[in-house]
Amino acid sequence: MATRHASSTTASPSSPITSSPEASDGSTRRELLESYGRLGVGLGASALFPWIPSSALAASRPSSDAPVAVLGARGKTGRLIVQQLLAEGKHVRALSYQPFEYDAKKDLPVNVDLSLLSYAIGDVTKYDTLPDAIRGSSAVIFASSASKKGGNAQAVDCDGVENIARAAISEKIPRLLVISSGAVTKPDSFGYKVTNMFARGIMGLKLEGEDRLRALYRSSAPAGVTYTVLRPGGLSNDKGLGVNGLELNQKDTIIGEISRNDVAAVAVHAITAPEAADVTFEVYEIGRRTPLQPEFPKESGMERRAEKWEDIFKGLVKDQDLQRA
Binder to ligand NAP among 21, 78, 174, 240 (CB under 6 A)? 78
In the bound complex, what is the minimum distance in angstroms from residue 272's beta carbon to ligand NAP? 20
Question: 143 vs 271, which CB is nearer to ligand NAP?
Answer: 143
The pattern of x and - marking residues 216 through 255 that bind ligand NAP according to CB under 6 A reads ----------------x-xx--------------------
In the bound state with ligand NAP, the residue whose beta carbon lies nearer, of 57 and 108, is 108
- Expressed in angstroms, the distance from the first to the final Cα of the chain is 44
Chain Cα centroid distance, residue 116: 17
Nearer to ligand NAP, 36 or 282 (CB): 282
CB of 59 to ligand NAP, least distance (A): 26
Dist. CA 234–CA 255, nearest whole Å: 8
Q: From the CB of 82, what's the least distance to ligand NAP, in Å? A: 11
Based on CB atoms, which residue is closest to ligand NAP, 149 or 324? Answer: 149
Does 93 engage in binding with ligand NAP (CB under 6 A)?
A: no
**Residue 220: how many other CB atoms lie within 10 Å:** 12
Asked if 76 interacts with ligand NAP (CB under 6 A), we say yes
- Which one of 133, 156, 167, 268 is in contact with ligand NAP (CB under 6 A)? 156
Could you tell me which stretch among 34-42, 58-66, 82-90, 117-125 binds ligand NAP (CB under 6 A)? 117-125
Given 62, 67, 131, 151, the residue binding ligand NAP (CB under 6 A): 151
- CB under 8 Å to 292, separation ≥6 — which residues? 182, 183, 186, 189, 191, 252, 253, 254, 255
∠ CA(120), CA(125), CA(128), 5° rounding?
60
If one asks whether residue 179 binds ligand NAP (CB under 6 A), the answer comes out as yes
Restricted to residues 261-320, the positions that interact with ligand NAP (CB under 6 A) are: none
Least Å distance, CB 324 to ligand NAP, is 27
- Kindly report the number of other CB atoms within 10 A of residue 232's CB atom: 24
Q: Does 136 bind ligand NAP (CB under 6 A)?
A: no
The residue at minimum Cβ distance from ligand NAP is 150
Contact between 204 and ligand NAP (CB under 6 A)?
no
Give the residue with the Cβ less far from ligand NAP, 112 or 184. Answer: 184
Q: Does 84 engage in binding with ligand NAP (CB under 6 A)?
A: no
Contacts of 242 (CB under 8 A, 6+ apart): 262, 265
Of the pair 65, 288, the CB lying nearest ligand NAP is at: 288
- Binding to ligand NAP by residue 77, rule CB under 6 A? yes
Is residue 163 a contact residue for ligand NAP (CB under 6 A)? Answer: no
- By the rule CB under 6 A, 124 interacts with ligand NAP: yes
Residues that bind ligand NAP (CB under 6 A): 71-72, 74-78, 96-97, 123-125, 143-145, 147, 149-151, 156, 179, 181, 232, 234-235, 260
